[in-house]
Amino acid sequence: MRIVHYDETRLKVIQTGPQRIQFRAYIGEAAGYCEGPQVFMVELFEPGSRIEPHFHDVDQFQIVLRGGGHLGSEAAEPVSFHYADAYTPYGPIVSQEEGISFLTIRAAAAGAFFPMPASRHLLPGLPGRNITGSFPARPAQGAGVSHTATLVETADGAQIKGIWLGPGAKAVFESADAGRQYYLMCAGSASVGEADLQRWSIVEVEHGERLPELCAGAAGAEVLVAQLPRASERPGSDVVKLAQRKIDYRLPPGSAYD
């Protein structure tokens, strides 16, 4: 189990033409290649900021935490989420007046940013799944009371679950035969053992690890749980095969580190 707090993230800024994009790395690298899983926040502060349509060679979740805008034709507001299979184009991502910030979760680092339609010839077949949904706020739960709802569930184990905890309430997420699980504190506070989790802290749990028990603080907590799908023959789903890739990581054209 690994716990990372928002104030422990590592900051990186990339300039793409006139547009600045800020990245906060929780696990692994942001906007670059690394070994192992990759979890980072993307922050677009200017109205009308835009990330062009593209795809990656890994499965991923994206969770909108702040601001708002659109992902393709879908509204993207807190707290909404998007799951995309590897080699599945999505976008554009466009921010509105307050900008937009979202968390990206991957079992392995992406090998590149593949812009569309220029990278269409690199797709190994038909695109896969694009799944969107939202994690709604609920009326305050009573002391010691919790509520859990499955928001997304696929045949290969990908899941999004919402947990709403009243003050002092406890909850344990069920284990499943799938990929890593990520617990994201969306509101309130909770503890896992002796670790205190505040807003936008995350807990990473590998397959087969003992699952954490969440205990909400005095104001309760709202926790989103994202579980990646299990490995299969589908391109990009097996981290063992991903580790055998030849990597030449490229940022979008015209990008530069600040």
Summarize pLDDT for 183-195 with one digit per residue, the tens: 999 999 999 988 9
Summarize pLDDT for 36-61 with one digit per residue, the tens: 999 999 999 888 898 999 999 999 99
Please tell me the number of Cα atoms within 13 Å of 38 on its side-chain side: 24
Contact 57, 30 (CB under 8 A): no
pLDDT of the residue at 258: 52
What are the percentages of helix, strand and coil residues in the chain, rounded to 5?
5, 50, 45
> What letter does residue 242 receive in the DSSP assignment?
H
The CATH label, of 1.10.540.10, 3.30.450.40, 1.10.10.10, 2.60.120.10, for the domain at 2-133+233-257 is 2.60.120.10
DSSP, collapsed to helix, strand or coil, labels residue 201 as coil
Contact 126, 197 (CB under 8 A): no
Read off the pTM: 0.92
Decide if pLDDT at 78 tops 80: yes
Task: Enter the CATH code of domain 138-227.
Answer: 2.60.120.10
Decide if pLDDT at 254 tops 70: no
Decide if pLDDT at 93 tops 70: yes
Greatest distance between any 2 Cα atoms in the chain: 55
Q: Which of 53, 65, 196 is nearest to 130 (CA)?
A: 53
What is the distance between the terminal CA atoms of the chain, rounded to a whole angstrom?
32
Decide if pLDDT at 257 tops 60: no
Give the pLDDT band (50/70/90) at residue 175.
Answer: low
pLDDT of the residue at 193: 87
Decide if pLDDT at 212 tops 90: no
Residue-range domain boundaries for the chain: 2-133+233-257, 138-227
Contact 110, 122 (CB under 8 A): no
pLDDT of the residue at 173: 74
Q: What is the DSSP code string of 109-122? A: --S--EETTTTGGG
The reply to whether domains 2-133+233-257 and 138-227 share a CATH topology is yes
Query: Using CA atoms, how far apart are residues 35 and 108, in angstroms rounded to an integer?
Result: 7
DSSP, collapsed to helix, strand or coil, labels residue 8 as helix
Decide if pLDDT at 17 tops 90: no
The first and second tokens of residue 223, run together, are 């926790």
Decide if pLDDT at 89 tops 60: yes
